[in-house]
Amino acid sequence: MEEEFAVTKNESTRVGFLLPLGYWVGGRNYLKNLFAAIRMLPGNPIVPVIFTGKRQGNNTEDFPGVEVIRTSMLDRRSPTAILRKGILKASGHDILLQKSLQKHGVSVLSHCIHPVYLGMRQRIKIIGWIADFQHVHLPELFTLEDRNHRDLEFKQICAQSDKIILSSACAYEDLRAFAPEHIDTAELLRFVASPTPLQGAASLPELQRLYTFTGPYFLLPNQFWAHKNHRVVISALQRLKSNREPLLVLAAGSPTDYRNSSFFSDLMKYALECDVLDCFRVLGQIPFDHLFGLMQHATAFINPSRFEGWSTSVEEAKSLGKQIVLSDIPVHREQAPPGGFFFPAEDPDALAKAMKAAHDRYDGVRDSALRTAAAAHFPTRQREFGETYLRIVEDTLGRKANEL
C-alpha cells in the first residue's frame, strides 16, 4: 500500500481525522474551526492529522499547516480500497486503516461520521460524531431507505466509538432518546466559528459591481436544501414588497439538494410567482473572499432553517458581532446570538417584521463597535472550545491534562 506522508516528531497526542471524497461543506468548515481552536492551546498538546485519498485533488487546502497523509485506500474503487473493503468484510476489522493510523503515531481517530471497525483490542481510540438527528425531526425530507440507513449507521457509530461528540444540548437529548444505552459516552462540544478575516475580503464596491446590486442587503448564506427554509424568506419578501418596503436578500450557497433534485428550480418558480426575483438574488457558491466581504457589509444575516445541529451562520454572526434574523427553533435559542431577531419558522409575516426591525436598527457606527466587541470576546470563546475538545481527548485516552 503506497502512502505519502511527513511525520512531525513531538510529544503531543496525534489525533487523526478522515476526510473522504465529497465531505460536505459544513463539515469542512467545522474542522477548520476546530483546528484553529487546537492551534491556540498552550503547549501544543494535540496535533491533528488528516487522512485523505491521493486522487482527491486540493481537498485539504482549507487546512493550512495541518499534517496530511494521502493514501490510496481512501480513493474510491482503487485497488487498495477494494482490498481494504474485502479484508474488513472477511475479518470484521478495518486492518489496513488501523495499521496506517498506528504507523503514523495516531492515538485517537476523531469525528468519525461513519462507523469505524478497529477491533475490540484496538490501541487506537475512536471518537464518533453525530452532527444532528434531522431525519428524526423532519422524516418527510428523507426516504424510508435513507431514514433506516441513518438509524443503522448512527447505532453502529455509537457501538464502535469510545466517545460520541454532539454539537448541542438538543442533539444530546436526541441521542438520549435514540440510543439511551450509549448516553454515558456522549460529550457536548459546541463549536465556535472563527471571525472572517478583514484582510483579503472583497470590498463593497467590488461586490456591488460583480453581483450587480446596490444599497443595504441581508445575507442568507445557507445551502439550498429543503430544511433550510428559503421559501419563507421569499414569502416575507413578497409581503414587504406589497407594503412598499422592499428589502434585498443575497442568497449564497450550493443550489444542489441530493434528496430533492427539483427543489431549487421549484423554489425559483415560487420566487417568480411572488414577483421577488429583484429582491431575492441567488449568488450560488461564491469564493470565500467574496463571502467574507458580504458578511462584513450585510445589514444582518438570515437563518430561517427548520432544523440545525449547531448553526455555522449563527456562530459566524456571533463572532462578527452581526445582527441575525433567525428561526425560533430550540438550537438557535441555545446558541443565543446577542444580535438575534427571532421569528416562528413557518411565519412569513413575523419574518417580514423581524427583517424590518433589523433594517431599522442597523447603524454603521454601531455595527463597527459590535464587531470590535465580538473580536475582543472571541479568544475566550475559542479557548473554551479548544479546552473542551482537549478534555474530551484526555478522557477518551484515560489521561489527565498534564499527561498529554
pLDDT single digits (tens) 108-147: 999 999 999 986 556 899 999 999 999 999 999 999 999 9
Residue 23, C-beta contacts closer than 8 angstroms, at least 6 positions apart: 59
pLDDT at 25: 75
How far is it, in rounded angstroms, from Cα 103 to Cα 62? 25
pLDDT at 26: 78
pLDDT at 8: 43
Mean pLDDT of 241-246: 97
- How far does the chain reach from its first CA to its final CA, in angstroms? 31
pLDDT at 5 > cutoff 50: no
pLDDT at 376 > cutoff 90: yes
CA nearest neighbour of 272 among 221, 247, 237, 314? 237
pLDDT at 44 > cutoff 50: yes
Higher pLDDT, 403 or 231: 231
Mean pLDDT of 372-379: 96
pLDDT at 9 > cutoff 50: no
pLDDT single digits (tens) 58-67: 767 778 899 9
pLDDT at 2: 44
- Quickly state the pLDDT bin for 1 (edges 50, 70, 90): very low
- For residues 178 and 164, is the Cβ–Cβ distance under 8 A? no
Average pLDDT, rounded, for the chain:
92
CA nearest neighbour of 384 among 34, 13, 29? 34
pLDDT single digits (tens) 197-212: 778 899 999 999 999 9
The alpha carbon dihedral of 288, 352, 231, 312 has a sign of positive
Report the share of the chain in percent with pLDDT over 70. Answer: 94
Return the C-alpha cell found at 87. 479484508
How far is it, in rounded angstroms, from Cα 312 to Cα 17? 20
Per DSSP, the residues of 141-180 read GS-HHHHHHHHHHHHHHHHH-SEEEESSHHHHHHHHHH-G
Residue 306, C-beta contacts closer than 8 angstroms, at least 6 positions apart: 138, 227, 228, 229, 327, 329, 345, 346
Q: 204-362: which CATH architecture?
A: 3-Layer(aba) Sandwich (3.40)
Write the CA distances from 8 to 5, 47, 69, 365, integer angstroms. 10, 9, 12, 46
How far is it, in rounded angstroms, from Cα 235 to Cα 302? 14
Looking at 3.30.1280.10, 3.40.50.2000, 3.40.50.300, 3.40.710.10, the CATH number of the domain 3-192+383-403 comes to 3.40.50.2000
Q: Map out the domains of the chain as residue ranges.
A: 3-192+383-403, 204-362
- Quickly state the pLDDT bin for 23 (edges 50, 70, 90): low
pLDDT at 404: 53
pLDDT single digits (tens) 348-370: 999 999 999 999 999 999 999 99
Residue 396, C-beta contacts closer than 8 angstroms, at least 6 positions apart: 108, 125, 127, 162, 163
pLDDT at 121: 59
The model's pTM:
0.91
How far is it, in rounded angstroms, from Cα 99 to Cα 51? 13
Return the C-alpha cell found at 223. 445551502
pLDDT at 61: 77
- On the question of a common fold for 3-192+383-403 and 204-362, the answer reads yes
